[in-house]
Amino acid sequence: MNWTFFHKLGSPKWFYEISGKWLPWLAILAALLMASGLIWGLMFTPPDYLQGNSYRIIFLHVPTAFLAQAIYVMMACAGVVTLVWKMKLADMALKCCAPIGASFCLLALVTGAIWGKPTWGTWWVWDARLTSMLILLFLYMGVIALRGAIRNTNTAAKACAILTLVGVINIPIIKFSVQWWNTLHQGATLKLTEKPSMAPEMLWPLLISIAAFYLFFTVVLILRLRTEILDRERRTKWVHKIVAAGAGN
């Protein structure tokens, strides 16, 4: 197998150049999808027969909860690459993912709490799904704090990779919490193996907003990564050239 693409991918300069070309298109697509998904969900879908209009929170809640978990898994993968191949870009990705994941995790928790009030009659219960999600937020904060506490870049990279990998055990717990324990939280609406238990006029805007949030994540991750690359490669000539050419896109 030809591994050159793998090493190319690990080169910050190559990533900086290629991502600059993708960024505007991804950003436009993310904005269009997000606007259409959320406006469709808010204004054009019929209310739920049980939950009424409060279910419209789903179009924010489900994408952000998905992403909060997916970003953590991605960080764990980046952690493995950091530990095994010592790839610079993987550690940068791990660092840049953390604040985005934490913000989405917080949003999933807050939207869930607000949704819980009209549906369950309470903002918060110490139930398996909610508690494991709160632990995920703490794990994100732990990774961010750990990096802030260690000055040496290489040591911080290793420590954060290990912490991320230890924390990944929480992901299957979140996923299966609604099956293993008796919880207030409803079971999964979307499953890969079965037909969704949702009417198509509600399902489509949900799928669109999930795609939109994934794209949005890609865009803001690239934004952060490009800044991180400039910061870490600031002694190289190519970065000096970009900066000299005016803010450098």
**Does residue 103 touch other proteins according to CB under 8 A?**
yes
CA-CA-CA-CA dihedral for 224, 98, 232, 162, to nearest 10: -160
**34 with 206: CB under 8 angstroms?**
no
**Does residue 17 touch other proteins according to CB under 8 A?**
no
Q: Alpha-carbon distance 48 to 182, whole Å?
A: 24
**Does residue 57 touch other proteins according to CB under 8 A?**
yes
CA-CA-CA-CA dihedral for 41, 220, 134, 168, to nearest 10: 120
> In this chain, which of 24, 52, 172, 187 binds other proteins, going by CB under 8 A?
52
Of the candidate spans 54-62, 127-135, 155-163, 164-172, the one that interacts with other proteins by CB under 8 A turns out to be 54-62
| Total residues interacting with other proteins, rule: CB under 8 A | 46
**Does residue 9 touch other proteins according to CB under 8 A?**
no
Nearest of 89, 69, 31, 248 to residue 172 by alpha carbon: 69
Query: Counting beta carbons within 10 angstroms of the beta carbon of residue 1, is it exposed (0 to 12), middle (13 to 18) or buried (19 or more)?
Result: exposed
Q: Alpha-carbon distance 23 to 162, whole Å?
A: 31
Smallest gap from Cβ 47 to other proteins, in A, equals: 7
Site for other proteins in 80-99 (CB under 8 A): 99
Nearest of 190, 192, 194 to residue 205 by alpha carbon: 190
**Does residue 29 touch other proteins according to CB under 8 A?**
no
> In this chain, which of 42, 77, 159, 198 binds other proteins, going by CB under 8 A?
42
Q: Which residues bind other proteins (CB under 8 A)?
A: 34, 38, 42-47, 52-54, 56-57, 60-61, 64, 99-100, 103-104, 106-107, 110-111, 114-115, 117-118, 216, 220, 223-224, 226-227, 230-231, 234-235, 237, 239-241, 243-244, 247-248
